[in-house]
Amino acid sequence: MSEHFRVQGGARLVGEVEVVGAKNSVLKLMAAALLAEGTTTITNCPEILDVPLMADVLRSLGCSVTLDGGVVTITTPAELNHRADSEAMGKLRASVCVLGPLVGRCKRAVVALPGGDAIGSRPLDMHQNGLRKLGAHSEIEHGCVVAEAEGLHGAQIWLDFPSVGATENILMAAVLAKGTTVIDNAAREPEIVDICVMLQEMGARIEGAGTSTLTVHGVESLSPTEHRVIGDRIVGATWAFAAAMTRGDITVRGVDPHHLDLVLEKLRMAGAEVTTFGGDGFRVVQDGRPQSVDFVTLPYPGFATDLQPFAIALSSVSEGTSMITENLFEARFRFIEEMVRLGADARTDGHHAVVRGVERLSSAPVWASDIRAGAGLVLAGLCADGATEVYEIFHIERGYPGFVENLRKLGATVDRVTG
Ligand code: UD1
C-alpha cells in the first residue's frame, strides 16, 4: 500500500518552525568521519531516510554507526574496507562522497555509482580528474568508480565548474595528501564551509573556506571530533516560499539568514516583509498577492537550483509574468508538467521557463519526481481550490523531517492517506 498526501487548498500558513541540520551537509560530514580512526559524533542531524542509508554505507566499510534522534555516532576502525558497493549506495547521491575519504585513507576505493534524485545527468568527471591530479588512477568499471594510488600528493586543480560534490571529494582526499593542494573555482556553498570547519576540528589545515580558492596543506592523520551540522537553508527557504505563496506569516528558526540573502531579497521584491534575527532565523510576512519576480539558478551565492520548483510555484500564483532560468539540472523542469495539471500557465524553452501567474490554482492528482519538486507541489496544493493529492511522497520524506507535522502546526490541512 503506498501513501500519499491530501492537501486542502486555501490555508494561510502562520506560526513558527524550527529547522534542523542540512541534509546536504550531514551526509558529507558522516563520510568525513572515515578520515579519522575513533569515534566521531555529529549533532543536529535531521531524522530523514538518507541518514540511515548513509549509515548503512559506512557500516559496509567497517564502521559501527548508531543513530539516536539527532545524534549520529560513528566509530571508524584502523583498517577500512575500501569497497562501497552496498545496496544503500544506489539509493542516494551523497553516497559518492565516500570516494574522497576512502582514497585519502586507504589509497584505493571501489565505489558504486550513486543513485539519488532524477534531476538530470550527474557525471563524475570532475571528481575523477581531481583525484587523478592528486596522483590516483581512476576509471569507471562495472558500474563502479575504481580509484587507486601509490600515494597522494598535493596539486593545483582547476574545476571546470564549481561542483559541490567534486569540491568535497577532492577536499577530503587532499587533507591526507603529501604537500599542498589548491582547488580553484571551488564550490562556495555553506555546506562546503561546514565540512571545512569539521575537517579543521579534526586537525586538517585548510584555508579559504567559503571562497572559490581552497588551499589544503596535507597532514599525516586526523582525529575524531564532535560537530554540529549547520541548519538546512533549503528547508528554511521552503518555509519562506510557503509564507509568500499562502500570504502567510512564518518565523523560521535554526537557519542562518545570511545563507539565504538572495532568496530573501527575491521574496522582498515579490512584496514580502522580511525580518532577520542575527544568525539564527527570519520571519516572512506576505500581505496580498505576490508580484512576479525573475529567478536564475547558479552555484552559491546564486539562487540555488534546489529552490527552483518553489520559484516556479510562487510565480504560478503571482501577479505578472516571471522568467525562470535553470543552469544546473535541466530535468528539474519536469516539475512544470505537474504544475500545469494544477492549472499553472507555464511553458519551457530550453533552460528557460516562462510562468504567467494565475489568481488561483485548481486541485488535481500530481506526482513528485524528487524531494524539492514534491515539496513544491504541496505548497502549490495549498494555493489550489479543493484537495490536491500528491503521490510518490517518499521523495519528500527524504528531505523534510516532520513535514506534515510542521504544515499542520502552521494551520494547513494535510492528511497522509494510505492506498
Ligand atoms: C549537490 C546537491 C544538490 C544540489 C547541487 C547543486 C548533495 C547531495 N546534492 O549535488 O542538492 O542541487 O549540489 O547545488 O549535496 N557536474 C559535472 N561533472 C562532475 C560533477 C558535476 O558535469 O564531475 C555538473 C552536474 O551535472 C551539474 C553541475 O555540475 O550540472 C553541478 O553539480 P554539483 O554541484 O556537482 O551537484 P551535486 O554535488 O551532485
- Which tens digit of pLDDT belongs to each residue from 350-407? 999 999 999 999 999 999 999 999 999 999 999 999 999 999 999 998 889 999 999 9
State the pLDDT at residue 419.
76
Q: Is 44 left (phi over 0), alpha (psi -120 to 50) or beta?
A: left
pLDDT at 401: 93
Q: If one looks up domain 3-19+231-418 in CATH, what number appears?
A: 3.65.10.10
Residue 161 CB-density burial (10 A; 0-12 exposed, 13-18 middle, 19+ buried): exposed
| From 164, 171, 296, mutation site for ligand 1 pocket: most ligand atoms within 8 A of C-beta | 164
CA 169 to ligand 1 center in whole angstroms: 12
Burial of 151 (0-12, 13-18, 19+ CB in 10 A): exposed
CB 212 within 8 A of CB 188: yes
Task: Kindly report the protein residue whose alpha carbon is nearest to atom 17 of ligand 1.
Answer: 123
For the domain spanning 23-219, the CATH number is 3.65.10.10
Q: 305: helix, coil or strand?
A: helix
What are the structural domain ranges in the chain? Answer: 3-19+231-418, 23-219
The pLDDT of 219-245, averaged and rounded, is 98
Q: What is the pLDDT of residue 87?
A: 77
Q: Is residue 41 within 8 Å of 73, Cβ to Cβ?
A: yes
Model's pTM, two decimal places? 0.96
Write the single-letter amino acid at 253. R
Using pLDDT thresholds of 50, 70 and 90, give the confidence band for residue 86.
confident
What whole-number distance in Å separates Cα of residue 335 and Cα of residue 339? 6
Q: Answer yes or no: 385 catalytic.
A: no
Tell whether 24 is in a known binding site: yes
Distance from the alpha carbon of residue 122 to the mean position of ligand 1, in angstroms: 7
Q: Is the dihedral of CA 217, 178, 76, 87 positive or negative?
A: positive
CB of 228 sitting under 6 A from ligand 1: no
Is the minimum distance from the CB of 190 to ligand 1 under 6 angstroms?
no
* C-alpha cell, 348: 519551457
Give residues with Cβ within 8 angstroms of 383, minimum separation 6: 9, 245, 246, 313, 316, 317, 360, 361
Two domains, one topology: 3-19+231-418 and 23-219: yes
User: Of the residues 194, 328, 395, 400, which should be mutated to test ligand 1's pocket, given the most ligand atoms within 8 Å of the CB?
Assistant: 328
Mean pLDDT, rounded, of the chain = 95
Say what the pLDDT of residue 120 is: 56
Instruction: Please work out whether the CB of residue 164 comes within 6 Å of at least one atom of ligand 1.
Output: yes
> Which residue matches cell numbers 599525516?
220
CA within 13 Å, CB half, 322: 29
Ligand 1 pocket member 83 (CB < 6 A): no
Please pick, among 50, 117, 194, 256, the residue that the annotation labels catalytic: 117
**Residue 187 alpha carbon, nearest atom of ligand 1:** 34
Q: Is the CB of 93 under 6 A from ligand 1?
A: yes
| Residue found under cell 550527474 | 122
The residues, ordered by sequence, that sit 6+ positions from 219 with a Cβ below 8 Å of its Cβ are 175, 176, 203, 204, 205
What secondary structure does DSSP assign to 164-228, as a single string? HHHHHHHHHHHTTSBSEEEEET----HHHHHHHHHHHHTT-EEE-TTSSEEEEE--S-----EEE
